[in-house]
Amino acid sequence: MYFGADYYPEHWPRERWEVDASMMKEANLNIVRLAEFSWSLMEPQEGVYNFAWLDDAIRVLSAQGLKVVMCTPTATPPKWLMDKHPDIYQVDRFGRQRGFGSRRHYCFNSSVYREYTEKIVTALAEHFKDNESIVAWQIDNEFGCHDNICYCDNCLEGFKKWCRDKYGSIENLNAEWGTIFWSQTYRNWDELIIPAYTECDTISGMTSRNTHNPSLMLDFRRFSSDSAVDYQKLQIDIIKRYTDKPITHNLMGHFSDIDYYNLGKDLDFISWDNYIRTPWGEAGYKETSMAHDLMRGIKNKNFWVMEQQSGPCGWNNLGSTPAPGQLRLWSYQAVAHGADAIVYFRWRACTFGTEQYWYGILDHDGKPRRRYREIQQTGSEFEKLTDLFVGAETVTEAALIKSYDNSWCHGIQYHVTGFDYNKILTQYYSGLADNGISLDVTSADTDLSKYKLVVMPAFNLMSDDLKERLEKYVTDGGNLLVTFRSGTKDWNNKMSTDTLPGYFKNLAGVEVEEFDALYGDRTAEVDGITGKGTASLWCDVIKPETAKVLATYSSDFYKGAAAITANEFGKGKVFYVGCDLDTCSMKALMKFIAQEAGLLPVLADLPEGVEAVRRISKGIEYLMVMNHNETEAQIKLDGEFTDMITGEKVRNDVKIQPYGVFALVR
C-alpha cells in the first residue's frame, strides 16, 4: 500500500533533503508527490528547461526506497509567461481581468496557454519517461479550486463552437432555450453571448446572483466543465505518448463546479484532497464518508487520497488542531471507503508564501512530534495490512445518485431560500448511515440493477432515456426514492408541461396538486412513519393515485394531505417524499425504507458517532469499525472476531476507544 506525503524539496536547503528522506523512511512512508507548483524552476525562462534539481531530489528519495508521483506544473504559470501573454488570465463576469499573485491564474480555453502547456508537459514527460522511481503522474492541481468560470473572449468563441456542436443550428438552440422570452432570440452564432453581468443582477436581494436565461446558464456551466475535461485530456495524451504509468488528478470531494464523472473518464484512477478541520468549516464524519464514497463512485473503483490532512491548516487563519488519534482514524476511514493509498499534505510546514499556516506532518522547525509519531504508527499498521486493504471491495446494496447537471440547475434557480442540493444529498446519505447502511454515491449512468435501493433526491432535470431506465429498474424489482423538486424539467432546463412530479408522475403514482415554499420561520408538521416531524423548506401537496400514504401534513392549509407515499410499480416500489425533514424524522423514514428494500445494517444498534463498513478482500470478509467520538463507545458483535490491527480476539459487547479503529475478521 502506498503511504506517503506531499513534498516540496524546492522549499528547503539542499542539505536538508537527505534528512527529510531518512525521516520519511523512519515514519514508514514509501511515496512522495512532487513538483505540482514548480514551473518557474522547471522553465526559468522560455524554452530553457531545468530538471536537474528534480533529478537530484528523486535520487535522494529513491535511496531511501521512496517512490514518486510526478505532477505537471500547470496550476502555476510563471510570471514571465503571464507578462508576455496577459490574455491567458481569466476574466470575471464583470469583465475584470484576474491578475498574478495566487495560483490557477489561467483560462482553460486560451490557445496560447494550451501551446505552452504542451511544451512544458512534453519536456517533462520526455525527460522522466524512463525514471523507475515514478509510479504515477498527476495532472495539474485541483481544477477549479478557486473559480472554474471564465468570461473572456476565448471562452465566448469556445462556447459558440460548443453550442454549434450540440444544437447544429441557431434555430434549434433558440427553440431549446426558449429565447422568444424577453425577445432574446439569436439570429446567428455571432450574436450568441455568455452569461456575464446584466441589468437584472442589480435587482435588490439578487446582487450575488447572475440572472440569465436558465438554459443558457446551464449550458455555459456544462461548457466550462467540459473545458477543464478537455484541457486535462490534452496533458494526458502527451504523457501517454511517453509512458504507460497511470495518470490521476486530485479532485476535491463535494466540489461541484466540474462534472467529476466526465473528468474521471480519461483518468486511470481517481485521487482527491481530504481536509476535515479547516478555518472554512469542519466536516462531520458522515460528510467525509460520503465524499470518499463519491470518489469511489466516479469510476466505481478504489481511489487514492492525494492530500490527507496532517495538521492544523489555513491561509490567513487556522482551523482546529486534529486531536490525538484523529489522523490515524481519518486514514482508516479513507481505507474503509476504498482508498488504496494515503498521501499526507504536507511533509513540513512552509516558512513563506500563502500557506505558511498550513501545517504538515512536521512543524516549521522540522522536528518530529506527536503527529509524526501517530502517522508513523499508522504506516506500520498499514504495512502489515496491505494485502487486506489494497483492492478490497466496499460492500454496498444501496446507491445515492449525485448529478452535476442537477447541481448546476439548482444553483441557477434554487427554488426557495436555504435550498442546497448538496445538503439534501447529505441528509439522505446521513439518514441511511444513521441506520448502519453503507451505500455508493454515484452517477445515474451507473448500472442500477445491482442495488436494492436507489435514492435520487431533487433530481429535477430528466430525460426520456433515463425515465425508461428507471422504469425498468423498478419494474424488475428495484426500490426507488425521489423527492420534491424532481422531474419538473427536461435536460436542457426547460419546464415540463406534464403534471407534477413530471417525469416521475407514473412511477410515483401521485399528482402534486400544489406546493408551498417555506420562508423565514415558517414550518410545517408531518406525521406518519417519520414520527412527528418538521418540514422547513418545501411541501408538495400530494394527491395519491395508485400510491399509498406513508405520512401526512398535520398543520397549515394542507393539513391532512399526503406528504410521503409509496407506489408499487411492477415488482418494485417507488417512494415519493414531498417535503424536507428534520434529522430524527429522516432517520425514521430511511429506517422504514431500508427495511422495505431488504437492507440490513452492517452492525445493529451502533452508538451515535460510530461507523461500520463491510469489506471483502480476496474472498475474506471483514468489518471496519471506527469511533469518531472523543469518548469511549460500546458496540455489540454477533460472535467472536479477530482484530487484524492488534491480533486480539474480541466478542459480544466490546469497548472501542476514543477515535479507535477495529478491522475485524470472523
142 has catalytic annotation: yes
> In 485-622, which ranges are continuous DSSP H helix?
505-508, 583-597
- Rounded Cα distance, 342 and 337, in Å: 12
Contact 642, 648 (CB under 8 A): yes
Contact 239, 121 (CB under 8 A): yes
- Rounded Cα distance, 380 and 557, in Å: 62
- Of all helices (H) and strands (E), which one includes residue 67? strand 67-71
- Rounded Cα distance, 45 and 431, in Å: 55
Of 43, 142, 287, 611, the catalytic one is 142
Question: What phi and psi values does residue 133 have, to the nearest 5 degrees?
Answer: -75, -20
Contact 140, 230 (CB under 8 A): no
- Rounded Cα distance, 287 and 292, in Å: 9
- Angstrom CA distances, 192 to 24, 165, 351, stand at 55, 14, 48
| 572: nearest Cα among 478, 455, 473, 454 | 478
Other CB atoms closer than 10 Å to residue 551's CB: what's the count?
26
Contact 42, 381 (CB under 8 A): no
For the chain, helix (H) and strand (E) counts, in that order, are 18, 30
- Rounded Cα distance, 207 and 464, in Å: 36
- Angstrom CA distances, 345 to 33, 257, 355, stand at 9, 23, 12
Residue in the structure block whose three cell numbers are 469511533: 627
HSE, CB side, 13 Å, CA atoms: give it for residue 251. Answer: 30
Of 36, 43, 176, 307, the catalytic one is 307
Max CA separation in the chain (angstroms): 77
- Angstrom CA distances, 470 to 8, 226, 574, stand at 49, 26, 10
HSE, CB side, 13 Å, CA atoms: give it for residue 283. Answer: 18
| Contacts with 655 (C-beta within 8 Å, 6 or more apart), sequence order | 632, 633, 634
- Rounded Cα distance, 633 and 615, in Å: 22
- Angstrom CA distances, 425 to 51, 248, 274, 401, stand at 45, 26, 19, 8
C-alpha triplet 201, 207, 210: angle, nearest 5°: 50
| 432: nearest Cα among 254, 596, 655, 628 | 596
- Burial state string for 309-326 with b = 16 or more CB within 10 A and e = fewer than 16: bbbbbbeeebbeebeebb
- Of all helices (H) and strands (E), which one includes residue 102? none
- Of all helices (H) and strands (E), which one includes residue 262? helix 260-265
Other CB atoms closer than 10 Å to residue 422's CB: what's the count?
16
- Of all helices (H) and strands (E), which one includes residue 430? helix 421-433
Q: Is 189 helix (H, G, I), strand (E, B) or coil?
A: helix
Question: What phi and psi values does residue 531 have, to the nearest 5 degrees?
Answer: 75, -160
Alpha-carbon Rg for the chain, nearest whole angstrom, is: 26
Q: Report, as residue numbers or ranges, the catalytic residues.
A: 142, 307
